[in-house]
């Protein structure tokens, strides 16, 4: 029997709160807890698991917070409570991770409407009481539930592909014009002898994406390549001097 999980979400400003912490101290804490895998993809519904690890010498309390999200054109996540149409069962929602301990969370997820997507944030907090700042680390496990029919290249519209010479940046605007979900696996830019590659990103239904990629080579790039699961898009780059 499926159930909706209801949580009181933390203010998003609680994400990686570390006021007045040195960058070295915060980097240690951020790298000492892990969630694996970070992204999972499935068709229709999923029965899955993810692993949480506490690599510190301090016991950590962990609370799981499911969230739905949208993406701004620059890829910033806009999070909210889990949509009512997404049905999620978690094997546990809060627990203690002892030092150097790992823990598996099992789950089942489906949705009234496909495609669908959501994130389960694992919120880590030390259970040791000490004066000073309280640090919370939020790490995501994101699930994408795809439609059965893969998206074709005719659904992706590239509206701009230029090399901004003054800023040394490649600027590319594209849009998913369909009701389906797709993920760009990677993006490459190529010049005469140079090649740079950046990571992939999701293109949500009827959503735009604005890309800016640094280009530090002397010669301008020739084109940008967008790699999708079942096709690639190659766009020549015009040079913009102003």
pLDDT at 172 over 60: yes
Task: Among 11-20, 78-87, 144-153, 173-182, name the one with the lowest average pLDDT.
Answer: 11-20
> Is 20 a residue whose pLDDT tops 60?
no
Cβ 178 vs Cβ 159: under 8 Å: no
Q: Is 2 exposed, middle or buried (0-12, 13-18, 19+ CB in 10 A)?
A: exposed
Query: Domain 12-146 falls in which CATH fold?
Result: Immunoglobulin-like (2.60.40)
Which pLDDT score, from 0 to 100, does residue 149 have? 94
232 contacts: CB under 8 Å, gap ≥ 6: 225, 226
pLDDT for 121 equals: 97
Return the higher-pLDDT residue of 213 and 10.
213
Task: Kindly report, residue by residue over 177-218, the tens digit of the pLDDT.
Answer: 999 999 999 999 998 878 889 899 999 999 999 999 999 888
H-helix or E-strand containing 236?
Answer: strand 232-236
Average pLDDT over residues 72-90: 97
> What is the percentage of the chain residues whose pLDDT exceeds 90?
74
- 13 pLDDT more than 50: no
Can you give the pTM of this predicted structure?
A: 0.83
At 89, list the tokens: 């069962």
| pLDDT above 80 for 62 | yes
Cβ-proximal residues to 6 (8 Å cutoff; 6+ apart), any chain: none
Write down the pLDDT at residue 2: 37
* Cα torsion 196, 202, 206, 211: sign: negative
Domain with CATH 2.60.40.10 in the chain: 12-146
Residue 6 has pLDDT above 80, yes or no: no
Is the CATH code 2.60.40 the one for domain 153-237? Answer: yes
């Amino acid at each position: 029997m499926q159930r909706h999980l209801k949580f009181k979400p933390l203010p998003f400003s609680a994400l990686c709160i570390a006021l007045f912490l040195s960058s070295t101290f915060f980097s240690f804490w951020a790298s000492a807890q892990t969630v694996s895998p970070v992204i999972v993809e499935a068709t229709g519904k999923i029965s899955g698991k993810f692993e949480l690890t506490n690599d510190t010498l301090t016991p950590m309390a962990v609370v799981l917070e499911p969230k739905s999200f949208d993406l701004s054109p620059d890829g910033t996540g806009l999070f909210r409570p889990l949509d009512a149409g997404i049905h999620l069962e978690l094997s546990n929602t809060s627990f203690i991770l002892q030092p150097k301990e790992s823990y598996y969370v099992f789950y089942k997820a489906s949705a009234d409407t496909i495609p669908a997507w959501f994130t389960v944030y694992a919120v880590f907090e030390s259970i040791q009481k000490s004066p000073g700042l309280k640090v919370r680390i939020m790490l995501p496990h994101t699930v994408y539930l795809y439609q059965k029919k893969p998206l074709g290249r005719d659904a992706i519209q590239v509206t701009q592909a230029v090399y901004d010479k003054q800023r040394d940046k490649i600027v590319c605007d594209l849009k998913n014009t369909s009701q389906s979900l797709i993920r760009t696996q990677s993006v490459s830019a190529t010049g005469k002898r140079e090649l740079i590659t950046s990571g992939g990103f999701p293109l949500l239904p009827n959503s735009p994406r604005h890309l800016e990629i640094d280009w530090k080579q002397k010669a301008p790039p020739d084109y940008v390549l967008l790699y999708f699961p079942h096709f690639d898009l190659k766009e020549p780059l015009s040079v913009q001097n102003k």
